[in-house]
Structure 1
Amino acid sequence: MRHVLLSGCSGGGKSAILAELDRRGFATVPEPGRRIIEDELRGSGIALPWVNMRAFAERAIDVAAADRKRVAEEPGWVFFDRGLVDAAVALEHVSGRSARETLASFDRYHETVFLVPPWPEIYQNDDERKHGLSEAIAEYERLVTAYNDLGYSTIILPKTSVDERADYILGCLAK
């Protein structure tokens, strides 16, 4: 499977790494959550994570599943800024429905998942990220546990430049 997840702590640099991989010519898929928030801010706002986290997580699952279908025939590596697993973990956190159960009908991603660790020095809030660093760290810990429980091999990215992180990911995948 050539669908590779970038996951981990909010504000840890996933989107910047994804932009660098895109710049290098790789297929990339932006984070479902940010797209949902942008859409909800223009619309009813019902599925905003700070309004209804369950609705947000359920919509994120739908968006991530559509993303997988859309890039299914893409040649080469396809990099995802979050995806189905992250959405399923969020849904499990708010509803108790097991991420494993939610993911049962979906194909797995590449066995190696790259995680950005908490990085307080670069963490910033914005219109789409309203939660604080402590909430981001709690989410990160849930994701680390879930990815390991789901049988993925996780690699925590070093806190280096965006270029170096992209090189590191590509180097790991070349092995």
Structure 2
Amino acid sequence: MRIEKPNFYAVTGGPGAGKTTLIETLAALGFGTVEEAGRRIIREQNAKGGKATHDGDRLAYRDLMFDDAIRTFERMRTESGPVFFDRGLPDLIGYSLLNGTPVPKALAEAVRRYRYNGTVLIAPPWREIYGQDEERGQDFTEAVATHEAIREAYIEAGYELFELPMVSVEARVNLVLRWISSV
């Protein structure tokens, strides 16, 4: 059974493009939000000496993110107002493409079953704000490659992409709020 949630807005793109800052600002304004699972999983894995990370066992890392994405989608299903997701299920297909690994059948089926709003907000690579930290070890070249793989995955999954401009977070928030009020 297909579950369509037009009030679920996926915000995607490569690392360091301003997605999380946008999501955090929307949360501060009172909107429902879902944090990026990848960063949380890396923190959890680092705390316990686990290897399921981007720099370790990438397949196990993807599988943990996949399980989290399904649980989160299911948990949020009853929300009727706008909910902004810091990444969505198709990101994991993009991650598979980036790593040159097959897409698990369960992931492909989940992308068909669990549907966000038909238009996805995508943040383009933005060198001026890009930075690395303990959870983001990718360099800018890999960030661009990640963006392209994710873009391809969302298009293949049947989503339209709305590219966020490279403007201040306040301007992005205002644009997003105007956009959702018009859909």
Q: TM-score, normalised by structure 1?
A: 0.93
Asked if residue 39 in structure 1 is aligned to residue 41 in structure 2, the reply is no
Per-residue deviation, residues 55-90 of structure 1 (Å, max 9, x unmatched): 111111011111111211122000000121112321
1:38-117 equivalence runs, <5 A: 38-94=43-99, 96-98=101-103, 102-105=107-110, 106-117=113-124
Amino acid at match of 1:155: F
In 1, Cα distance between equivalents of 2:108 and 2:48? 28
Pick closer, same or farther for the CA change 1:133–1:95 going to 2, 3 Å: closer
- Across the aligned residues of Structure 1 and Structure 2, the Cα RMSD in angstroms comes to 1.6
Match of residue 135, structure 1, among 142, 148, 159: 142
Query: Which region of structure 1 is more displaced relative to structure 2, 103-112 or 75-84?
Result: 103-112
In 2, Cα distance between equivalents of 1:100 and 1:154? 24
Counterpart contact for 1:54–1:95, Cα < 8 Å? no
Residue 11 (structure 1) aligns with: 16
Per-residue deviation, residues 91-139 of structure 1 (Å, max 9, x unmatched): 3443632378623133111111001101001100000001100001001
Match of residue 130, structure 2, among 100, 106, 123: 123
Amino acid at match of 2:90: V
What is the count of residue pairs matched by the alignment? 175
Residue 149 (structure 1) aligns with: 156
Asked if residue 173 in structure 1 is aligned to residue 180 in structure 2, the reply is yes
In 1, Cα distance between equivalents of 2:63 and 2:88? 12
Q: TM-score, normalised by structure 2?
A: 0.90
What stretches of structure 1 move > 2 A for 4+ residues in a row? 91-101
Counterpart contact for 1:11–1:122, Cα < 8 Å? yes
Structure 1 gaps of 5+ residues are none
Amino acid at match of 1:157: L
In 1, Cα distance between equivalents of 2:97 and 2:143? 16
Pick closer, same or farther for the CA change 1:111–1:100 going to 2, 3 Å: farther
Counterpart contact for 1:61–1:88, Cα < 8 Å? no
Counterpart contact for 2:93–2:150, Cα < 8 Å? no
Amino acid at match of 2:89: L
